[in-house]
Structure 1
Amino acid sequence: MVDPKSDKLASPIAYSCYFTRNREGEQFAPEHVFSYQISGTLTINNGEKEYVFKEGDYRFIRRNQLVKFVKQPPVDGVFKSISIYLDQPTLRSFAMEHGYQAHPGSHAAEPIIALKGGSLVKGFMDSLMPYSLDDQLIDADLQALKLREAIMILLRSSPEMAGILFDFSEPGKIDLEAFMHKNFHFNVQLSRFAYLTGRSLATFKRDFEHIFHTSPSRWLQQRRLQEAHYLMKEKGRTASEVYLEIGFEDLSHFSFAFKKMFGIPPSRLAG
């Protein structure tokens, strides 16, 4: 799992296991992620579309995606998934060694892709389990081999993935206003928003203030509070249900900001 604010990843092979209840969260995927759903259900939302993956499903999340997720264990069971993160240096090295050409501009491709299974893909995912269970330390050379094996298997089972795997271009400059209205509820640093809109942080702030006539931080808080007010007033949601969803980290901070903006605590807002 990647922290939405740091991009830090302890290992390129990650095993996820949750027992008793749904777990909600969000993350920024700085690298491509190839995953297998062992048990339970994973629901992913990128702000435009919802994707649901059940036991036995395989998925591919393209890099540079902001996503929210819900991990739901099966009845009396355990949520389990295993993922491998395909970093850009490994992909560049693989492309050079195997004669693949770079494919710039695959940004129009689906951000989250349901992949075909088959014995080759299943066998590979099964082979990752010993590297991920019991907090076993993974030898760096074995990690490198598994990453390359994952690339080979993706290309063998889905040759069209070459256009995504070997697209090394960075996000281009896009419509900042539309992007912010779509992604305001993601709780990430301004530098991440800047990067995803194809701007330096300084240019992002300048363009933002030109469009919205206020600072990014002030606009984000106001926009999130407006969305919370709508969800509670019109949809009957509670503060504890919406504060994480709309981009706040802390319920008490959300309640304080809400009261300051609307004059009443969220608990007094009638549905």
Structure 2
Amino acid sequence: MKTRSDKMIKVPQELTNNWARKVSLKLDGLSVIEFSCQTEGRKGSYFLKEHLLLIVRSGVCTLRFEDRTYTVRSNELMFIHKSIAIEFEKMGAPNYNYAIDYMMVFLNDKIVEELFKFAGIKPIHPVDDVIPVTVFPINECIRSYIETLKPFIEKPDEVNEGLVRVKLMELLFHVADSNERFLYQLMQPINKDRSSIAKVMEENITNPVSLNDLAFLTGRSLATFKRDFQAIYHTSPLKWIRNRRLDKAKELLAETDLTVTDVCFSSGFENIAHFSKVFKEKFGFPPSEFRQKQKLQGKA
């Protein structure tokens, strides 16, 4: 269960003020965030708004997606497909005073399209076995490349944006050259089953997803997703999600001791004032008063 302290966050957007962030480099379509810290274990939950390349130079990162667990260790690289929710745990290397050093490279659709156009890569025919997470070793080319990237991310304001873009495009070529599945993963939605609306909606009730995310996860355009959803549920996706989240919040208020703030985040809302307002609109009382009435009824 997600509470305020470990609520799922959207990345890369909400990593801007992360305590462990060392440096960052942002371009239109791509961002790089480097982390260097000491920890014996830190957990959290992410919803990936963009594709992620996770490069671990020292330490261990463990990620869980659905019922699978993936581990990336020192001198390994992990590719994670966009529009999925993951749980992660990172731990520093015991032999190096629990130091962990890794880099997160986020890629949106614009930079992916630019890569394919620049490389002259033709669209790949859809396949049915696209795996959203892949771990592979960092080869010598990638290892050498990372060292040449350091001056760019340590002083991002002092380098030419065009040069940075070419330099980061080089990374994508190195990764594609070292793992042929990389291009397939970039180009394919995770779930192309057009009957998957119900499954996708249930899995993402409390995740910070947009309508575009949900449409992507079901393999539909936004317009088609809205039309198909209306035909199934006879309401809009936003109203359906809000009502399910409110029902979840009502259940948590009645059956747990979580604070109202924790209930807000655990049920998928991101703003406490908005949560209190819509909760009162549906159930007639604000969350705190609703809880008090539940306690009184229990004692009666």
TM-score normalised by the chain length of structure 2: 0.65
Q: Which residue of 2 aligns with 1:93?
A: 117
Cα distance in structure 2, aligned partners of 1:72 and 1:254: 32
Distance apart, 1:212 and its partner CA: 1.9
Q: Which residue of 2 aligns with 1:197?
A: 218
Q: Which residue of 2 aligns with 1:35?
A: 54
Please state which structure has a larger fraction of its residues in strand.
2
Cα distance in structure 2, aligned partners of 1:257 and 1:79: 42
Mapped contact 2:193–2:219 kept (Cα < 8 A): yes
Per the alignment, do residues 156 and 198 of structure 1 end up closer, same or farther by CA in structure 2, a change over 3 Å counting?
Answer: closer
Cα distance in structure 1, aligned partners of 2:249 and 2:63: 21
Greater shift in the superposed pair: 37-46 or 123-132: 37-46
Distance apart, 1:14 and its partner CA: 0.8
Q: Which runs of 5+ in 2 are unaligned?
A: 1-10, 15-24, 296-300
Distance apart, 1:135 and its partner CA: 4.3
Cα distance in structure 1, aligned partners of 2:62 and 2:256: 21
Distance apart, 1:50 and its partner CA: 4.9
Distance apart, 1:91 and its partner CA: 2.3
Q: Which residue of 2 aligns with 1:148?
A: 169
Per the alignment, do residues 234 and 153 of structure 1 end up closer, same or farther by CA in structure 2, a change over 3 Å counting?
Answer: farther
Aligned residue among 122, 135, 148 for 1:127:
148
Q: Which residue of 2 aligns with 1:66?
A: 84
Per the alignment, do residues 201 and 157 of structure 1 end up closer, same or farther by CA in structure 2, a change over 3 Å counting?
Answer: closer
Per the alignment, do residues 124 and 39 of structure 1 end up closer, same or farther by CA in structure 2, a change over 3 Å counting?
Answer: same
Q: Which residue of 1 aligns with 2:209?
A: 188
Identity over the aligned pairs, expressed in percent? 24
Mapped contact 1:18–1:73 kept (Cα < 8 A): no
Cα distance in structure 2, aligned partners of 1:197 and 1:81: 32
Mapped contact 1:103–1:164 kept (Cα < 8 A): no
Cα distance in structure 2, aligned partners of 1:115 and 1:44: 14
Mapped contact 1:66–1:186 kept (Cα < 8 A): no
Greater shift in the superposed pair: 70-79 or 204-213: 70-79
Query: Do structure 1's residue 14 and structure 2's residue 32 form an aligned pair?
Result: yes
How many residue pairs align between the two structures? Answer: 260
Larger radius of gyration: 2
Q: Output aligned runs, 1:73-92, within 5 Å.
A: 74=92, 80-86=101-107, 87-92=111-116
Distance apart, 1:83 and its partner CA: 3.1
Q: Which residue of 2 aligns with 1:222?
A: 243
Distance apart, 1:235 and its partner CA: 7.7
Paired AA for residue 35 in structure 1 = L
Cα distance in structure 2, aligned partners of 1:155 and 1:105: 18
Deviations 1:101-159 (A, max 9, x none): 53221463111211222333222223222211244344233223323322332233223
Paired AA for residue 91 in structure 1 = L
Q: Which residue of 1 aligns with 2:265?
A: 244
Cα distance in structure 2, aligned partners of 1:13 and 1:191: 20
Paired AA for residue 61 in structure 1 = I
Deviations 1:68-127 (A, max 9, x none): 45575759877653233452233213441xxx5532214631112112223332222232
Per the alignment, do residues 23 and 177 of structure 1 end up closer, same or farther by CA in structure 2, a change over 3 Å counting?
Answer: same
Per the alignment, do residues 13 and 200 of structure 1 end up closer, same or farther by CA in structure 2, a change over 3 Å counting?
Answer: closer
Query: Do structure 1's residue 113 and structure 2's residue 142 form an aligned pair?
Result: no
Cα distance in structure 1, aligned partners of 2:117 and 2:236: 41
Per the alignment, do residues 102 and 214 of structure 1 end up closer, same or farther by CA in structure 2, a change over 3 Å counting?
Answer: closer
TM-score normalised by the chain length of structure 1: 0.71
| SS, match of residue 83 in structure 1 | strand
Distance apart, 1:3 and its partner CA: 3.4
Per the alignment, do residues 228 and 135 of structure 1 end up closer, same or farther by CA in structure 2, a change over 3 Å counting?
Answer: farther
